[in-house]
Amino acid sequence: MKKYAILMCCMGNICRSPTAEGVLRAKLAAAGLADLVELDSAGTHGYHVGRAPDARSQRHALARGYDLSAQRARQALVGDFARFDLLLAMDRDNLAALDAICPPGDRHKLRLLMSFATRHAAEEVPDPYYGEGDGFERVLDYVEDACDGVVAMLHAEGLGSA
């Protein structure tokens, strides 16, 4: 059985998308779905390819139990649209960047991550890179909410059902 595949995307793949990957990975494990979902993250730009997530992102995530240390930044590629069932952008700019390389038949796979949120009204996950700790905490709050929604969607689609 082919795994359901999800790609988290932000600009550089060092703050928001690795955080989203780490949070969703933990939530999938807690929901018993880890073996049924392939998960990765990428940046729409190649600024940080090969680098570990931002130290601040790692520190704030680890304080909530999410270990991002094994992740390495990569750039999103056209081939990702064939590989992934869902590509989740952190904001509209990154959604537009993905749309610009998306094959026409795969546009249905593109969404904003926050479209899955139920507790926060924000439509985008703000970029914390130039800010302080409160921005990284806000990212975690938003991402945890939206990832709960992703898990609920996967259950609603029958993933993990006997």
Tell me if residue 10 is catalytic: yes
Q: How far is CA 126 from the centre of its chain?
A: 13
Give helix then strand counts, H and E, for the chain: 5, 4
Q: What is the DSSP letter of 118?
A: S
127 is catalytic: yes
Query: Which residue of the set 16, 40, 74, 148 is catalytic?
Result: 16
Beta-strand (E) ranges in 100-141?
110-112
Please, are residues 61 and 19 in contact by the beta-carbon 8 Å criterion? yes
In angstroms, what CA-CA distances link 118 with 65, 69, 109, 115, 134? 22, 28, 20, 8, 21
Give the separation between CA 101 and CA 127, rounded to whole angstroms.
Answer: 22
Residue 56 is a catalytic residue = no
Instruction: Out of 127, 145, 147, 148, pick the active-site residue.
Output: 127
Half-sphere exposure of 90 (CA within 13 A, CB side): 28
Residues serving a catalytic function are: 10, 16, 127
